[in-house]
Chains A and B, each alone.
Chain A
């Protein structure tokens, strides 16, 4: 009886801690809006460079548009990974987080969700505009948004592990891209694959299902890896 009360109290405590973590990270991000906007503008600028570098022909651009937007999203996510744990590590609040009685992986999940809301979701919302710039049309743009919606959380989740591993390491910013980009390849393949398939009138549901499967798998496994990496980095 008392055990049950204790457990439910613990669970409520966990949810409260999780929400507090999420709200805290979102508040911090909103107070430093410039950081958020920087990686967003980076996304826009990288995409805008391709017409200048490759060709302004709409036919050419339409062919490479899904890949360009996806690669730019990968790089923009990479740019914002450093923020995820570095500040907390510097001011010592990360160590306090590790001392909490709640499972660290759940708290990590809260931080990752905050990261995605701040740096992943804006990319999804901005992608139709960039898609139109590169000559994509109605259905393809919708498909691009769906793939980014499924894929960018995976990028944040995997990126969290990389960010935790390189915490406080010399040249961590460059190193994290070396560690994480190879692991992003499957998401990139199926993200662009779905849009390409949609453009050429083929079946794209398989790609979307796989992206969804990646998301589920990343949700289940990466918080554990990130928590382990944080403990290694902070100990």
Chain B
């Protein structure tokens, strides 16, 4: 049984076999994303109670907190894929790492943006040099560094290796940066505003937040699978299976041009 499983694992780590598998599961994850998003948004707008201190404006945390969680989770997953890609030379892992980065950057930006919108009515300012905000901003810089290094190198294999190494260096540094920023903050600002939520959160609020997190998670899977399929096609365009795939669809030798039309 275990042997069988491991064979399937190796089987699908080949881009050629992963491409159709990803294509098959994408609709299912789309379904999950939309269902969770509908339920989550309904709960967050109509069911979750109004906060007694912050009023209605607090409801943006149902986007904000899941986005912030996802931004950190994605960086971690990206670094794990980078390690797998560098250590075992699994091409698919490199492709997954590069497919994850834009979505991670998007969630980081979303977390910062919604945080600013939440901060204005709650703290009276869009931006505070608070430890969490600052670390989230630095996380955005790390994502941008990863993406720009990857796009600056023309050779895709070298680009994958170099950016993978950068992701690993970044993930080692993240906790150091986080704790430094936290200490810096307590030294500079004392106890001013803090984005920590009320310690006792209503169960419905927590449930809603978790549902939204799972919605974002499923969305990430969908988008990353779609993006990785594109990356597979782009990097494997010289191989016979890609030519066959598009040969069958466009019924011509000029697969790329035929596909675009």
List residues of chain A with CB under 8 Å of any chain B CB: 161, 165-166, 169-172, 175, 178-179, 181-183, 185-186, 189-190, 193, 196-197, 214, 221, 225, 228-229, 232-233, 235
Given the complex of chains A and B, what is the CA–CA distance between A178 and B158 in angstroms? 19
Q: Chain A's nearest CB lies how many Å from the CB of B64?
A: 22
Cβ < 8 Å to A, chain B residues 165-213: 165-166, 168-170, 172-173, 176-177, 180-181, 183-184, 187
Contact residue among B153, B170, B180 (Cβ-Cβ distance under 8 Å from A186): B180
Interface check B138, CB cutoff 8 A? yes
A178 touches B145 (CB 8 A): yes
Contacts of A179 in B (CB 8 A): 145, 149, 166
Interface check B100, CB cutoff 8 A? no
Given the complex of chains A and B, what is the CA–CA distance between A166 and B166 in angstroms? 11
Question: Given A181-B141, A185-B138, A235-B158, A166 and B169 touching (CB < 8 A)?
Answer: no
Q: Please list 20 pairs of residues, one from A and one from B, whose beta carbons are closer than 8 Å in the complex, sorted by A's number.
A: A161-B169, A165-B162, A170-B152, A170-B154, A175-B148, A175-B152, A178-B148, A179-B166, A182-B138, A185-B180, A186-B176, A186-B180, A189-B180, A197-B187, A221-B172, A225-B165, A228-B165, A232-B162, A232-B165, A233-B162
Contact residue among A182, A186, A221, A229 (Cβ-Cβ distance under 8 Å from B162): A229
Interface check B142, CB cutoff 8 A? yes
Question: Given A182-B141, A185-B177, A172 and B152 touching (CB < 8 A)?
Answer: yes
A182 touches B145 (CB 8 A): yes
Given the complex of chains A and B, what is the CA–CA distance between A15 and B177 in angstroms? 34
Interface check B161, CB cutoff 8 A? yes
A190 touches B180 (CB 8 A): yes
B158 touches A232 (CB 8 A): yes
Interface check B144, CB cutoff 8 A? yes
Number of B interface residues at 8 Å Cβ cutoff, please give it.
Answer: 27
Contacts of A190 in B (CB 8 A): 180
A169 touches B152 (CB 8 A): yes
Q: Chain B's nearest CB lies how many Å from the CB of A150?
A: 15
Given contacts A175-B148, A189-B180, 19 further A-B contacts (CB under 8 A): A165-B166, A166-B149, A169-B149, A169-B152, A178-B144, A182-B142, A182-B173, A182-B177, A183-B169, A183-B177, A185-B177, A186-B177, A189-B183, A189-B184, A193-B184, A225-B165, A225-B169, A232-B158, A233-B158
Counted as pairs of residues, one from A and one from B, with CB atoms less than 8 Å apart, the total is: 69
Given the complex of chains A and B, what is the CA–CA distance between A182 and B174 in angstroms? 10
Given the complex of chains A and B, what is the CA–CA distance between A228 and B162 in angstroms? 9
Question: Given A186-B180, A221-B172, A232-B158, A175 and B149 touching (CB < 8 A)?
Answer: yes
Which residue of chain B lies nearest to A196 when distances are taken between CB atoms in the complex?
B187
Q: Chain B's nearest CB lies how many Å from the CB of A181?
A: 7
Given the complex of chains A and B, what is the CA–CA distance between A134 and B161 in angstroms? 45
A166 touches B161 (CB 8 A): no
Question: Given A178-B141, A185-B138, A166 and B152 touching (CB < 8 A)?
Answer: yes
Which residue of chain B lies nearest to A169 when distances are taken between CB atoms in the complex?
B152
Which residue of chain A lies nearest to B86 when distances are taken between CB atoms in the complex?
A228
B173 touches A183 (CB 8 A): yes
Q: Chain B's nearest CB lies how many Å from the CB of A153?
A: 17
Given the complex of chains A and B, what is the CA–CA distance between A197 and B188 in angstroms? 10
B184 touches A229 (CB 8 A): no
Q: Chain A's nearest CB lies how many Å from the CB of B143?
A: 10
Q: Chain A's nearest CB lies how many Å from the CB of B239?
A: 22
Contacts of B187 in A (CB 8 A): 193, 196-197
Contacts of B181 in A (CB 8 A): 185, 189
Given the complex of chains A and B, what is the CA–CA distance between A196 and B187 in angstroms? 10
Given the complex of chains A and B, what is the CA–CA distance between A193 and B184 in angstroms? 7
Given the complex of chains A and B, what is the CA–CA distance between A232 and B150 in angstroms? 13
* 3 smallest beta-carbon distances between A and B, as pairs: A186-B180, A182-B141, A189-B184
Contacts of B170 in A (CB 8 A): 182-183
Which residue of chain B lies nearest to A217 when distances are taken between CB atoms in the complex?
B176
A169 touches B169 (CB 8 A): no
Contacts of A232 in B (CB 8 A): 158, 161-162, 165
Contacts of B177 in A (CB 8 A): 182-183, 185-186
